[in-house]
Structure 1
Amino acid sequence: MQAREGQVSAQPFVCTLAFERSLDGFRIYQNVECGLSSNTIDAYRRDLRRFGDFLRRAGVDDWSRIAPRLTQGYLAELSGEGFRTTTVAQHVTAIRMWLRWLHLTRQIPEDLTTLLELPKRGRQLPHTLNLDRTVELVTSPELDQPLGLRDRAILELFYACGLRVSELCGMAERDANLKAGYARCMGKGRRERVVPIGQKARDALEVYLEQLRPKLLLRAMQTGRIKTALTPRVAAAMPLFLSRSGGKLERTAVWRLVRREAKRRGMPGKVSPHTLRHSFATHLLEGGADLRVVQELLGHVDVSTTQIYTHVQTKRLKELHARFHPHGAGKATQGADRE
């Protein structure tokens, strides 16, 4: 029976001691030299441990013996287990980065990254919401619910700033300057950026900070999460968004929040925190914003990453043309139906 993608193996991956030690050194490189987040490092490690298990089964404990036939066999194994092209590409990226590190640290004489080519994949357009649906989602939380003020502020901030979920969860209270109207966040590769906060998000944040967050901080004191005096300085250094018990809000909780509110509003598809980030970028470009400005706001290193949103615009324009132009596909179909 073919394993489904993402299914957790009944048996954990077993790697040799040499491979495990290699991963420990690689982790330090990723953290110190590359500045990757702990979540990204953990994802690389998971993918590499699967490869390490494959190497153990193949009897390879000398990294210089990694050859094209071996890597092709591993990719074939992934495909045979039902992994999509995008997931296989993630595994390839992890292995290539590990091989490059082995070469940089002179653990192998040659750079073996050329043994693995990224599988070709079609460009997937990001899932976005139109303006009306976006407003419906960010204003969805009921403010009279125990965490309604927090949830409303979270969704408003997502859409106002185009944040990644890890960036939002990593923000401290002091990172949101409501008087000046900007937020400071730490993006991928520990690159800090400053983004403006719109008025509606500022209003939602202000209400949350005044009415709900002090109560959550008090719970943090009661549960022992804060072990020092709760001075304004200590409160400002605490996470901006707190859990029900006053702890740091986890990414999974934010995902559940977005999914729950989208489902309540009957929104089709898998709406996620990243959907609001995609919508943020697409609506800016539709409003006439410069591509380079959107790149800076999103924290993209390469403008080509941002250009995907211009394809979203093109797709939407084609749909509108098909619906409303006299010779559009939609109009032509309607005419054919009448004949």
Structure 2
Amino acid sequence: MDNVKIYLNFFVEYLQIEKNYSQYTIVSYVADIEDLFSFMKEQAIIHLEEITYNDTRLYLTELHKREYSRKTISRKVSSLRSFFKFLVREEKLSENPFSLVSLPKREQKIPQFLYEEEIEQLFSISDCTNPLGQRNQALIEVLYGTGIRVSECCNIQLSDIDLYIGTVLVHGKGGKQRYVPFGSYAHDAIEIYINDGRKSLLNKLSKQDQHSYLFVNHRGSHLTDRGVRHVLNELIKKASLTLHIHPHMFRHTFATHLLNEGADMRSVQELLGHSHLSSTQVYTHVTKEHLKKIYLSHHPRA
């Protein structure tokens, strides 16, 4: 199966150079494709051109036997379809055996979000007289005030922040960049943190280890996604909220609150950095419930 590995390497180069995908995304593609290679060995299939539509059906049956979720199976099929489409484009294969495979319908989960009272509770917890309290306050104000992804938040550099006009340059998925505005609460929290708390935390580092990341941990190093989860868990404990909050909930809350207050879908799509409007439309399920409650509460004939 030497040519199989060569084709995979070609595909990885394509994802890196032409598609500009992140390393995390590429690793997922490779894992999905190598899983098919393992299946090929079990079925004594040596060359990719030997795979037929019937083989793809057998492979899908195998995935169902492993009790993978519909979301996982959809991702794997999508990865393999892209891989074979690339090989057909490069004239390595004559046809794509996954082109006729239909993706299983994904379960439509309503995004979890925080109510305004819960958000207010979280904002009142941090002790802004010490460096970590200032960092925590700035962190949750940025997450809620911009709706950016946690990975995007962790990678903000000082040069990305414009306090004068209240915007942050966000480096999103696939190398895409966008400017996202933030309000006065986030502005004040960021300014206090940059001028005071961040400087104190950075003093713990040696000169050669200094960096320009906005958010730092208690040792002064770059704050990671995992670090953000720890910060939020600690805030939840202090607030005595019986919630299981994951960092992405701030993004869900940002979008839901904007739509509830009358923001249009296209603007929210742009702020979130979604490539497709369908990704943003999932939040309409939440806002419809909100509108229904208002209707039932206020309409005389409800």
TM-score above 0.5: yes
Match of residue 318, structure 1, among 289, 292, 299: 292
Could you tell me which residue of structure 2 aligns to residue 174 of structure 1?
Answer: 159
What aligned pairs does 1:39-188 form with structure 2 within 5 A after superposition? 39-143=24-128, 147-188=132-173
Question: Which consecutive residues of structure 2, in runs of 5 or more, have no partner in the other structure?
Answer: none
- Answering whether residue 209 of structure 2 is matched by residue 225 of structure 1, we say yes
What do you get for the CA RMSD once the two structures are aligned? 2.5
Cα distance in 2 for residues equivalent to 1:267 and 1:327 = 37
Cα distance in 2 for residues equivalent to 1:139 and 1:58 = 60
CA contact (8 A) 1:195 1:297 kept: yes
Cα distance in 1 for residues equivalent to 2:113 and 2:270 = 20
State the 1:263 CA deviation. 4.9
Structure 2 vs 1, CA of residues 140 and 29 (structure 1 numbering), >3 Å: closer, same or farther?
A: farther
CA contact (8 A) 1:159 1:279 kept: yes
Cα distance in 2 for residues equivalent to 1:120 and 1:284 = 28
SS of 1:249 mapped into structure 2: coil
State the 1:115 CA deviation. 3.7
State the 1:299 CA deviation. 1.1
Match of residue 276, structure 1, among 226, 230, 250: 250
Over residues 53-99 of structure 1, what are the superposed CA-to-partner deviations in whole Å (9 max), with x where a residue is unaligned? Answer: 22232233311222222222222222222221112212222222222
Question: Which AA in structure 1 matches 2:69?
Answer: R
The sequence identity of aligned pairs, in percent, is 32
Match of residue 279, structure 2, among 301, 305, 323: 305
State the 1:153 CA deviation. 1.0
Cα distance in 2 for residues equivalent to 1:242 and 1:100 = 42
Match of residue 36, structure 1, among 10, 21, 26: 21
- Answering whether residue 177 of structure 2 is matched by residue 192 of structure 1, we say yes
Taking structure 1 as the reference length, the TM-score comes to 0.80
Taking structure 2 as the reference length, the TM-score comes to 0.89
Could you tell me which residue of structure 2 aligns to residue 6 of structure 1?
Answer: none
Question: Which AA in structure 1 matches 2:61?
Answer: A
CA contact (8 A) 1:71 1:115 kept: no
State the 1:174 CA deviation. 0.6
Question: Which AA in structure 2 matches 1:70?
Answer: D
Question: Which consecutive residues of structure 1, in runs of 5 or more, have no partner in the other structure?
Answer: 1-15, 227-234, 329-339
Which range moves more in the overlay, 128-137 or 18-27?
Answer: 18-27
Structure 2 vs 1, CA of residues 144 and 47 (structure 1 numbering), >3 Å: closer, same or farther?
A: farther
